Copies of this chain bind each other. A is one copy, B any other.
Amino acid sequence: MNIRQKIDSDALGEAVAVLSQRFGDRVSTAQAVREQHGHTTTYHKNLPPDAVVFAQSTEEVADIVRICASRNVPVIPFGAGSSLEGQLNAPFGGVSIDLSQMNQILAVNAEDLDCVVQAGVTRVELNEYLRDTGLFFPIDPGANASIGGMASTRASGTNAVRYGTMREVVLSVTAVMADGQIVRTARRAKKSSAGYDLTRLLVGSEGTLGIMTEITLKLFGIPEVIAAGICAFETLEGACNATIMAIQVGIPVARIELLDEVMVRASNVYSKLTLKETPTLFLEFHGSEASVKEQSDMFREIADDCGGSNFDWATRPEDRTKLWTARHDAYWAVVQMAPGKQGIATDVCVPISRLAECVTETKVDIDASGLIGPIVGHVGDGNFHASLMVDPDDEEEMRKANGILDRLVERALAMDGTCTGEHGIGQGKIKYLVDEHGPGVEIMKTIKTALDPGNILNPGKIFAP
């Protein structure tokens, strides 16, 4: 792979001048705008791009890429700014391509249960647009991320246990490649055996192989009945075991989310809830009246066996919304709990049979460190996060946090799991990708070099520069 250096300032100046001529005041080099586009949410240092261009069409993105590529200037795609592993940073400088003005919903094919959207549409915007169609788009990372960003990191969220991740729900993408060529990776057929799966090669590639500008997504019918419930457990292990059994017996639970007692405390404060501060599962069942009853009855039996309390039901839509808003705000609840600190967002995912073991060992490790690090997770998928709160300038805290993170990833890999279930590699997990994939990383680099020989697409992400 081409080793990237800081870009030549003449080339950069020329690229920005040509971009300004072409796009006028949709090009910005203002400090605040640049810094906002290197936004990292977590402890990663802000490394702003040299300029930001607000694109409004696929053709414009292609023009920007060509203008930058011919001058060897890096480009970094930007959606909503909610990534967690430094995906938006510009360690070698370059131009951030802001896609937030590409927020058109181009088609809703209700009869085919799919839609086509521009990359800058956010998940909340899409669901608001769909409101009257009887359909919804289930993938919901905590933040109101853009669909393009979600595809880039192969995002998932609370509904993935039932509806899949971006890997499963993206039918096709339109992308601008490193040479400015525009490619549509597939058509709208539900399945295809026609050649290499370019769709899934681009999904999860974090802007390093191409810039996705339009995405075709599967949609789902809004279930007849939605029932949400809260179940408090005596122990973390009990909550995990109930999850494991629910998955193993095949309850088609739509959401099954774990909050440890620290997380429940943080959510009580931040989201004004009054939950009992013990390990707790938030659940949701989707289906017909009969099916939802069947699912919840089955889960109740399991919970009883695992030291779970009676369900506390949230049947009114506004109560459900409150519950899930609290869950989605978990990260901000933790941030408020630790003023002045920043988060290290861990993200391992293990085979479900190892969940209880992995969560409880991690909890012991965090408790021993004295750091604040609540655990929250999409446990039905075997995926959980410990948000380690640190002062990045405090060496001792960073040493402790990095130790926990190293051991957590090592633990997950030893259980045949992954270092990241949904956040991606970005800058933060480059070394863990090597631990996880070994020689596979060289294959990934070979593909990267073949498709982006100048290494201009989001350099310094996924792979060491």
Task: Give chain A's interface residues, CB within 8 Å of chain B.
Answer: 109, 111-114, 153-156, 160, 164-165, 167-168, 177, 181-198, 200-201, 203-205, 209, 220-221, 244, 247-250, 288, 290-291, 294, 347, 349-353, 381-383, 412-413, 416-425, 429, 432-433, 436-441, 443-444, 446-451, 462
Contact = CB atoms under 8 A, between A and B. Distances in A.
B154 A193 contact: yes
26 contacts: A109-B353, A111-B248, A111-B352, A113-B247, A160-B191, A183-B438, A185-B440, A187-B417, A188-B351, A189-B349, A189-B350, A189-B418, A189-B421, A191-B349, A191-B381, A191-B421, A193-B204, A193-B347, A193-B418, A193-B423, A194-B429, A195-B440, A196-B204, A198-B437, A221-B249, A290-B291
Nearest to A155: B193
B177 A443 contact: yes
B451 A195 contact: no
A112 B248 CA distance: 7
A193 B439 contact: no
Contacts of A349: 189-192
Chain copies in the assembled complex: 2
A195 B112 contact: no
A184 B417 contact: no
B424 A189 contact: no
B351 A114 contact: yes
A428 to B, nearest CB: 12
A442 to B, nearest CB: 8
Contact of A194 (B160, B190, B382, B437): B437
Nearest to A184: B440
A168 B194 CA distance: 16
Nearest to A442: B181
* Highest count of chain B CB atoms <10 Å: which of A201, A381, A413: A201
* Highest count of chain B CB atoms <10 Å: which of A186, A187, A450: A187
A92 B433 CA distance: 38
A2 to B, nearest CB: 14
Contact of A205 (B186, B196, B382): B196
A273 B191 CA distance: 31
A191 B290 contact: no
